[in-house]
Structure 1
Amino acid sequence: MNDLARRYELFGRVEAPGYRELTEGIAADPAILSLIAALPAPKQQPNLLFAAVRFLGGPVTAYPAFSSFVRQSWDAVRATMLARSTQTNEAARCAALLPALCLLDGPLALIEVGASAGLCLYPDRYGYRYPGRELGPQEGAFTCEVTGPAPLPDRLPEVVWRVGVDLNPLDVRDPDAVAWLRALVWPWQPERLANLERAVAVVAQDPPRLVRGDLNECVAGLVAEAPEEATVVVFHTAVLPYLSEAERERFAATMRALPCHWLANEGPARQPWVRLPYPPPADRAVMALVLDGRPLAFAGPHGQSLSWFA
């Protein structure tokens, strides 16, 4: 269980400092670690545990109250973790994707793999604030700090077709699904919750087509379905950690062979086929934004920043 303890400690120290008291408590608590260790490996994720506790109305502040709830309600916590997955749908990541999408000739046909509720399929419907540049509706616009020579767009893209694929797609018209999305948002980041609520309201007016299935089995067929007159873009953000190494390699090989663009916004370590111009920062988590195998930038995990490569 040492590896599991380190995983939790690292999650709180680097990725989610607001959960640090909980992750350090778990790492030093053999009883809680043994409960988590008995779950299937893909279900041992820290964020999945914390979201399950929040979804069930449990406390996620002081460790004594948290651990007491987990022990007393373990059957319900375990059932929630087994039935659900970490499907954080961060619409604000569109702020990081947008400059890359606007490098491409439109109109665009978007295919998102690992789409969750499909909130990131609507980069043309949201508002954005970059340094010296505003796009789209400004009430509740996504703010993104930018460094480096980023090609900030002067207009929103034209999207004529969109579809998502997910093992368990979520319907934004389903209150239970939206409650789960809320539970996945870290409680010390109210701006992310506000972003979620606004994005859900936008998408609920015109819900996307979401296909239930495995990305490796579905992506080629969806590319073939896209309208011929559109520029086809397959994209994903924070999806590769949920694939095995073999599944990631298979997906990468498939994407290289398909007649479309491939836009990835993933942790650098999950894209070993990409040669970054310099190492990612050691003191914070970042994503590597990569278009057709070419690294463009480091992006904040929730779309809050973009460090464009020279």
Structure 2
Amino acid sequence: MTIAASYAEFAAREARGVSPGYERLALAVSRDEELLALLGTLPPDKRQPNLLFGVVRWLDGPVADPAAFRDFTMANWSAVEAELRTRATQTNEPGRCAVLLPVLVALPQPLALLEVGASAGLCLYPDRYAYRYGAHLLGAGEPVCECAVTGTAPPSRLPEVAWRAGLDLNPLDVTDPADVDWLDALIWPEHEHRRARLRAAAAVAAAEPPLLVRGDLVDDLPALAARAPAGATLVVFHTSVLYQVPAPRREAFAEQVRGLPGHWISNEAPEVLTHDGLPEPPGEALYNVLALDGRPLAWTRSHGQAMTWFG
């Protein structure tokens, strides 16, 4: 897919109806030959819309108006390029816990959670957040993760977590204001509810910072998994991470995680991991496939805002 096509697809499938500002920006970039040429000088994993828009926001650039965005980006390209080359999209959306919860509570308790691509580790606290599934409220306090559920009953309890750890090439420190500010910059501009949720989740995590290990998802996974306590069910999980990993490494990871004791929860776009016989998605938007041990269970939206259970 060309860079122009990837921005047009982002506008149509991810931003439309979710972020009018980013839909406008992505369409403008998709038609801007000069900006596309600059993006073309970057490695493929550094060209994506979320990263570009997040970097411009991080640099206090304008994202509400495409013309102002273009002027800022072109005038400050050296600074934008430097950030693009060193940063990664590490969207640490605690709302994703809402779609993981029905699977987590169905496993033998207590759990030893190991998140791959953990960013700052905010999705390692599903037992500490509150949830609203339609009219059904579960848990107390902040943040509240809201999710529309179709095809299954919402969970009726929270999981028991005995151990939590994360693996990431560049783990972020939830106690470092600069790292939390970068996570804030990755949130889409209209999404004040997500911004508030991020800050509330960061406060939860900062009170008991997670074990985060800098490492590779294939080479360093077995050693970290071996640190999980006996008597707890190991759960290796990840959401919207593997699209950033080259296909051969994805396959090596899948083989590696299948060989570990415990369970594997994946929540990735349908083209990232192969699943046979998937039903049609509920709409034209971009959906992830939630799967347990390689068995697909549901369509989910990328920020955890909705899930549609299969059959």
Q: Which TM-score tier does this pair reach, normalised by the shorter chain? A: over 0.9
Paired residues of 2:142 and 2:197 also in contact (CA < 8 A): no
Report the Cα distance in structure 1 between the residues aligned to 2:169 and 2:43, rounded to whole angstroms.
17
Residue 11 of structure 2 aligns with which residue?
12
Kindly provide the amino acid, as one letter, of the partner of residue 53 in structure 1: V
Residue 292 of structure 1 aligns with which residue?
293
Paired residues of 1:144 and 1:304 also in contact (CA < 8 A): yes
Report the alpha carbon displacement of residue 26 of structure 1 after superposing the two structures with TM.
1.3
Report the Cα distance in structure 2 between the residues aligned to 1:180 and 1:166, rounded to whole angstroms.
16
Report the alpha carbon displacement of residue 276 of structure 1 after superposing the two structures with TM.
4.2
Deviation sequence 1:101-123 (CA, Å, 0-9, x none): 01101010000000000000000
Report the Cα distance in structure 1 between the residues aligned to 2:121 and 2:88, rounded to whole angstroms.
15
Post-superposition, which runs of at least 4 consecutive aligned residues in structure 1 deviate over 6 A?
none
Residue 81 of structure 2 aligns with which residue?
78
Kindly provide the amino acid, as one letter, of the partner of residue 69 in structure 1: F
Report the Cα distance in structure 1 between the residues aligned to 2:161 and 2:283, rounded to whole angstroms.
36
Report the alpha carbon displacement of residue 41 of structure 1 after superposing the two structures with TM.
1.2
Report the Cα distance in structure 1 between the residues aligned to 2:220 and 2:106, rounded to whole angstroms.
26
* Residue 194 of structure 2, aligned match among 192, 195, 204: 192
* Residue 211 of structure 1, aligned match among 201, 210, 213: 213
Identity %: 51
Residue 121 of structure 1 aligns with which residue?
124
Residue 301 of structure 1 aligns with which residue?
302
Deviation sequence 1:77-130 (CA, Å, 0-9, x none): 011111110000000100000000011010100000000000000000000111
* Residue 238 of structure 2, aligned match among 236, 239, 242: 236
* Residue 141 of structure 1, aligned match among 141, 144, 148: 144
Paired residues of 2:12 and 2:285 also in contact (CA < 8 A): no
Report the Cα distance in structure 1 between the residues aligned to 2:197 and 2:142, rounded to whole angstroms.
11
Report the Cα distance in structure 2 between the residues aligned to 1:296 and 1:289, rounded to whole angstroms.
6
Residue 114 of structure 2 aligns with which residue?
111
SS in 2 for 1:236: strand
Kindly provide the amino acid, as one letter, of the partner of residue 147 in structure 1: T
Give the TM-score of the pair, scaled to structure 1.
Answer: 0.96
Report the Cα distance in structure 1 between the residues aligned to 2:107 and 2:152, rounded to whole angstroms.
17
Report the alpha carbon displacement of residue 140 of structure 1 after superposing the two structures with TM.
4.0
Matched, 1:52 2:55: yes
Report the Cα distance in structure 2 between the residues aligned to 1:276 and 1:160, rounded to whole angstroms.
35
Number of positions where the alignment pairs a residue of Structure 1 with one of Structure 2 = 307
Report the alpha carbon displacement of residue 148 of structure 1 after superposing the two structures with TM.
0.4
Kindly provide the amino acid, as one letter, of the partner of residue 204 in structure 1: A
Deviation sequence 1:16-53 (CA, Å, 0-9, x none): 23212212211211111111100111111111000000
Report the Cα distance in structure 2 between the residues aligned to 1:245 and 1:8, rounded to whole angstroms.
21
Residues 158-197 of structure 1 mapped to structure 2, 5 A cutoff = 158-197=160-199
Taking only aligned residues, the RMSD between alpha carbons, in angstroms, comes to 1.3
Distance 1:297 1:23, change over 3 A: same
Report the alpha carbon displacement of residue 132 of structure 1 after superposing the two structures with TM.
4.3
